[in-house]
Amino acid sequence: MGQAQGPSSQGRNIRLWRPPGWLVATVAFGALVLLLRGFVFEPRLIVSSSMAPTLLPGDRLVMDKLSYRFHLPRAGDIIVFALPPQALRAGEPRQPAALKRVIALPGQRVEIRDGQVLVDGQPLHEPYLEEAPRYTTGPIHVPEGMLFVLGDNRNASSDSHDWGLLPARNVRGRAWLRFWPTSRAGGL
* Per annotation, catalytic residue among 65, 100, 157, 160: 100
Residue 39's contacts (CB-CB under 8 Å, 6 or more residues apart) are: 65, 66
Domains of the chain and CATH, by start: 64-89+96-179 (2.10.109.10)
* Predicted pLDDT of residue 42: 86
Annotated active-site residue 65? The verdict is: no
* Predicted pLDDT of residue 85: 86
pLDDT digits (tens, 9 = 90+) for 107-120: 999 999 999 999 99
Q: Is the distance from CB of 126 to CB of 110 less than 8 angstroms?
A: no
Residue 185 half-sphere exposure, CB side, CA atoms within 13 Å? 6
* Per annotation, catalytic residue among 9, 48, 49, 50: 50
pLDDT digits (tens, 9 = 90+) for 135-172: 999 999 999 999 999 999 999 999 999 999 999 999 99
pTM of the predicted protein model: 0.80
Annotated active-site residue 50? The verdict is: yes
pLDDT digits (tens, 9 = 90+) for 20-64: 888 777 877 777 666 666 666 788 999 999 999 999 999 999 999
Give φ, ψ of 63 to 5 degrees. -95, 130
Distant-in-sequence contacts of 160-165, Cβ < 8 A, 24+ apart: 160/100, 160/103, 161/112, 161/133, 161/135, 161/137, 162/87, 163/84, 163/86, 163/87, 164/84, 164/86, 165/140
Q: Is the distance from CB of 178 to CB of 60 less than 8 angstroms?
A: yes
pLDDT digits (tens, 9 = 90+) for 127-138: 999 999 999 999
